[in-house]
């Protein structure tokens, strides 16, 4: 039976309304009656719902994901099966937007913001990896940027969920070994972090679907994309972060974040903003730097993988 407003997921969680943009009524705003607060309920995909082995694995192995000791992952209150045997997760309501939603409005993140998000996500991954837990679905739809007046505040979504579904294996953020259905480990998550960093910094996929189908794992160095605020030093970081061979990648999120910060710190020695672009224009080469955008205040709901209310405020 399809979920409807008023459906009781547990004796204390009642569905209120689906969040617009969610596919197959997968994400609902709900009332936690005993706490008298709003929560978000994620109903897992039909593919998982009809796979008995996956359901058993979910019920047996999801519990440790609730114990990850980090503020950089969305807080999960409960999980289980509905009376109709639909797997669900109850989590906190967040205010903000996913990286994917942000990049639909802006070409890319400012470099220093991207570096801050990388550091925060690296911390979340390291905490999970210390417990031998993998995400295997990290990407722009699974990273939430909370509304904050104190810099970037990123949270990882869907820990313990993505690893039980198949749809993330073919994404632009899945490591080569994951894409090829080979053995994965914590370095697979770190590759995904590198791919997400490339997207945030450049606004482009490091290795798109066409290259994957051709088994081509090379990428264009960010310094060659005519981005005046990206230092050339970051090229070496991506060469290691996105290496096809897991043995050649960074061994931990902490080291990735530290080296990324060092590379991005080279910005302080670069010319003032616009200086490099002006030089390019003088020789007649068109600049592809993203244009400045102005926006009105927008209030909208999150999509399937982004619980909570999405608020976009002018810069």
Summarised one tens digit per residue, pLDDT across range 48-65 is 656 777 788 888 888 888
Range scoring the smallest mean pLDDT among 148-162, 201-215, 260-274, 290-304: 290-304
- Select the CATH number that applies to the domain covering 96-301 from these four: 1.10.510.10, 3.20.20.140, 2.70.98.60, 2.60.40.1190: 1.10.510.10
Range scoring the smallest mean pLDDT among 16-25, 174-183, 198-207, 286-295: 286-295
Residue linked to tokens 């051709």? 214
CA nearest to 307, candidates 30, 48, 10, 5: 30
Instruction: Report which of residues 210 and 109 the model is more confident about.
Output: 109
Query: Residue 307 pairs with which residues in a beta bridge?
Result: none
Provide the CA 118 distance to its chain's centre, in angstroms: 10
pLDDT grade for 6, boundaries at 50, 70 and 90 = very high
- Scored b (16 or more CB within 10 A) or e, 7-38 reads bebbebbbbeebbeebeeebbbbbbbeeeeee
The rounded percent of the chain whose pLDDT value lies above 90 is 58
Tell me: domain 13-92, CATH 3.90.1150.10, correct? no
Question: How much is the pLDDT for 302?
Answer: 45
Question: How much is the pLDDT for 33?
Answer: 97
pLDDT grade for 274, boundaries at 50, 70 and 90 = very low
Residue 311 above 60 pLDDT? no
- Phi (first) and psi of residue 247, to 5 degrees: -65, -20
- Specify the length of the chain in residues: 315
CA nearest to 83, candidates 22, 25, 3: 3
Q: Over the chain, what is the mean pLDDT?
A: 83
Question: How much is the pLDDT for 23?
Answer: 52
Q: Please list the residue range(s) of the chain that carry CATH number 1.10.510.10.
A: 96-301
Residue 120 above 50 pLDDT? yes
How far apart CA 221 and CA 53 sit, in angstroms, is 42
The rounded percent of the chain whose pLDDT value lies above 70 is 78
Q: Please list the residue range(s) of the chain that carry CATH number 3.30.200.20.
A: 13-92
Q: Work out the average pLDDT over 241-253.
A: 98
Q: Work out the average pLDDT over 91-100.
A: 94
Question: How much is the pLDDT for 169?
Answer: 61
Question: How much is the pLDDT for 297?
Answer: 33
Joined tokens for residue 264: 């991005």
Residue 277 above 50 pLDDT? no
pLDDT tens string 168-197: 567 899 999 999 989 999 999 999 999 999
Question: How much is the pLDDT for 25?
Answer: 54
């Amino acid at each position: 039976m399809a979920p409807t407003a008023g459906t009781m997921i547990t004796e204390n969680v009642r569905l209120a309304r689906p969040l617009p943009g969610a596919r197959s009524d997968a994400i609902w705003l709900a009332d936690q009656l005993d706490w008298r607060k709003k929560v978000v309920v994620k109903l897992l995909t039909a593919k998982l719902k009809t796979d008995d082995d996956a359901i058993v694995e979910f019920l047996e192995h999801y519990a440790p994901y609730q114990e990850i000791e980090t503020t950089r992952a969305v807080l999960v209150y409960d999980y289980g099966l509905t009376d109709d045997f639909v797997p669900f997760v109850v989590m906190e309501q967040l205010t903000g937007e996913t990286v994917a939603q942000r990049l639909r409005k802006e070409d890319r993140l400012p470099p220093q913001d991207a570096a801050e998000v990388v550091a925060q996500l690296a911390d979340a991954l390291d905490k999970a990896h210390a417990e031998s837990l993998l995400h295997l679905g990290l990407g722009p739809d699974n990273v939430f940027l909370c509304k904050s007046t104190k810099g970037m505040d990123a949270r990882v979504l869907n820990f313990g969920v993505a690893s039980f579904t198949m749809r993330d294996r073919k994404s632009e953020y899945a490591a080569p070994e994951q894409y090829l259905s080979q053995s994965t480990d914590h370095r697979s998550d770190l590759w995904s972090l590198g791919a997400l960093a490339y997207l945030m910094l450049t606004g482009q996929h490091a290795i798109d679907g066409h290259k994957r189908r051709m088994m081509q794992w090379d990428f264009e160095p960010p310094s060659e994309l005519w981005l005046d605020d990206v230092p050339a030093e970051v090229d070496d970081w991506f060469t290691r972060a996105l290496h096809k061979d897991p043995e050649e990648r960074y061994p931990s999120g902490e080291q990735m974040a530290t080296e990324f910060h060092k590379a991005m710190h080279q910005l302080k020695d670069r010319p003032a903003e616009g200086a490099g672009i002006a030089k390019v224009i003088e020789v007649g080469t068109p600049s592809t730097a993203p244009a400045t955008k102005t926006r009105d205040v927008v209030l909208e709901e999150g999509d399937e993988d982004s619980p909570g209310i999405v608020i976009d405020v002018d810069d």
